[in-house]
Amino acid sequence: MDDEPIVRWYWIGDHLGYLGGLLADHAVLALLPVLIGLLLAVPLGLACARFPRLYQPLATVFNVVYALPAVAVFVLLIPYTGLATQATVMIPLTFYALAVLLPTTVDGLRAVPEPVRQAATAMGYGPWHRLTAVELPAAVPYLVAGLRVAAVSSISLASVGALIGRGGLGYLFMDGFQRTFTTPIVAGIALTAALALAVDLLLLGARRLLAPWAVREKGAVR
């Protein structure tokens, strides 16, 4: 009978620096595309809110991109961005994040009642001032909801990049599988889950800070 333990704790203790490096690399690979996706989603969402006919074609394109298997997209990009490069992993993850963030951005901007916009205009708010003082703050709960989904999804998908030589914590899964050694696999799962949980809690805290009224309204509904 095989008495091999699931986790060899001494291995984890001996590789803390290695694990920390993989975690940091994974965080960059996974979260930078989400940030870029947000920076793209806001102007695109504004355009879609102003010109509704633009939204459906854009949403269709990004939904199709989101449905593409990550490994297949990585392979298609390798001739142009190189093997084992950050760009090969981050470009698809940016589009995946954008596919999630665009609808939530548009929904958030559309959630602002028209009388509120008219009242802001009557108070002397110009288009830019109204956008920054009224429309975007009202969209924060929607944006954070989209960011939570996009971030967790990106943290999970970044591991697949290990198949082309750049995947952060994904190396642990490949290493454990190739050596039939479960400790790196368990460590990779735990660190991936911990990163996802930490980012999710950070985003929840940001929502409480930036949109406290949304938290109060949710509590009142309960």
| Amino acid of residue 101 | L
pLDDT at 205: 93
Residue 220, pLDDT above cutoff 50 = no
Q: What is the mean pLDDT of residues 26-46?
A: 95
pLDDT at 177: 92
Question: Tokens standing for 200?
Answer: 């999710």
Rounding to the nearest 10 degrees, give the CA dihedral for residues 143, 138, 54, 125.
Answer: -140
pLDDT band, residue 218 (cuts 50/70/90): low
Q: What is the mean pLDDT of residues 34-48?
A: 94
pLDDT at 33: 97
Q: What is the mean pLDDT of residues 6-30?
A: 94
pLDDT at 93: 96
pLDDT at 214: 61
pLDDT at 121: 78
d(CA 168, CA 139): 33
Residue 128, pLDDT above cutoff 80 = no
pLDDT more than 90, % of the chain = 64
Q: Of 30, 26, 37, give the one whose Cα is nearest residue 143.
A: 37
pLDDT at 113: 74
Q: What is the mean pLDDT of residues 148-177?
A: 93
pLDDT at 183: 95
Q: How many CB atoms lie within 10 A of CB 177?
A: 12
For residues 95-130, one letter each, b for 16 or more C-beta atoms within 10 angstroms of the residue's C-beta and e for the rest, the string is bbbbbbbbbbbbbbbbebeeeebeebeeeebeeeeb
- What is the H or E stretch that residue 22 is in? helix 16-50
Average pLDDT, the chain: 88
Residue 219, pLDDT above cutoff 70 = no
Enumerate residues 6+ apart whose C-beta is below 8 A from 46.
105, 109, 131
Question: pLDDT tens-digit profile of 168-192?
Answer: 999 999 999 999 999 999 999 999 9
CA 168 to chain centre: 16
Q: HSE (CB half, 13 Å, CA atoms) of 56?
A: 2
d(CA 219, CA 140): 17
pLDDT band, residue 131 (cuts 50/70/90): confident
Class of domain 18-213: mainly alpha
Model pTM?
0.88
pLDDT band, residue 217 (cuts 50/70/90): low
End-to-end CA distance of the chain: 53
- What is the H or E stretch that residue 165 is in? none
- Higher-confidence position of 109 and 198: 198
Q: Of 153, 183, 185, 154, give the one whose Cα is nearest residue 172.
A: 185
Q: What is the mean pLDDT of residues 31-36?
A: 97
For helices 136-157 and 86-110, the axis angle rounded to 10 degrees is 150
pLDDT at 150: 96
Q: Cβ distance 208 to 215 under 8 Å? A: yes
Q: What are the domain boundaries of the chain?
A: 18-213
